[in-house]
Structure 1
């Protein structure tokens, strides 16, 4: 079963996000209170625990949910293999995959801290189609 491991938030861009108990994901906006939310195609970022574990296995220390600035840390689903346009039910929400990976910006705090960033290769981005709450433990279903 695919599920949410953590919901993570930050008030500014380019920094590590902190886990929160639950988050409200607004229609066509993203996680309320998060620096990356807004009316664009990368409203919500997702990265799997399996991707974080790969980084740990390659020698990175002290990695945990939110360290790669992802809004949702997931488990049990290979995110980067989902085609753009895939619809996901996550908690109360529905989202659509809009982008796979990204370019790391210069001065990326994550790359500097960890030495590499898996987000450009294995992270994905979605937009919110149906708003609602998401919390750790919520199931992720491909619609």
Structure 2
């Protein structure tokens, strides 16, 4: 299942201990079922995001893995921003998947054994503008009805453990219907 450059695939992987905005690109990351990315500051059964921990540290961690589509980097590059994989804090950069259009509960089988379940959208925060002034505005849009579109990626939990590497294929399994659109988590 790995290293097929056609179809949905992994472009880059990243992790970083502690709480930092950007992550460190890696040759591979290991996903642990029910926990997240080994060696990453957001790994754990309960919430790790600082603002969420302050509100209720016992809440389940629905943000174990952060995924962003590489096509977003092309979009913001055309607007004058320089963004590369891991810069926005994502663990997995994908290509060939409309991540934002997937319904809640979609499962992504990545590489030989890892499986993540999409829990919702990443809600862009002010740290994005601290990274590059004006970038947060570029990661938000409005649809034809005026509804806010968040483009900063999706969040997931780990269902099955496994190694994830650049070049790994991704297989998409939609949940049984009716499908629920992604909401911020």
Q: Does 1:75 align with 2:104?
A: no
Q: Is the radius of gyration larger for structure 1 or structure 2?
A: 2
1:16-41: CA deviation from partner (whole Å, max 9, x where unpaired): 11110001100111110001111111
Relative to its length, the structure with more strand (as a share) is 1
Which residues of structure 1 form unaligned runs of 5+? none
Match among 11, 26, 29 for residue 23 of structure 1: 29
Q: Does 1:121 align with 2:121?
A: no
State the shift of 1:14 in Å.
3.6
Match among 94, 115, 118 for residue 97 of structure 1: 118
Q: Distance in 2 between matches of 1:54 and 1:10?
A: 26
Q: Distance in 2 between matches of 1:114 and 1:55?
A: 11
Aligned length: 139
Aligned to 2:41: 35
State the shift of 1:101 in Å.
2.7
User: Which 4+ residue blocks in structure 1 deviate beyond 4 angstroms?
Assistant: none
Aligned to 1:48: 69
State the shift of 1:13 in Å.
2.1
Residues 118-127 or 34-43, more deviating: 118-127
State the shift of 1:64 in Å.
1.0
Which residues of structure 2 form unaligned runs of 5+? 1-6, 46-60, 141-148, 174-185
State the shift of 1:113 in Å.
2.3
Structure 1 length-normalised TM: 0.90
Q: Distance in 1 between matches of 2:157 and 2:165?
A: 17
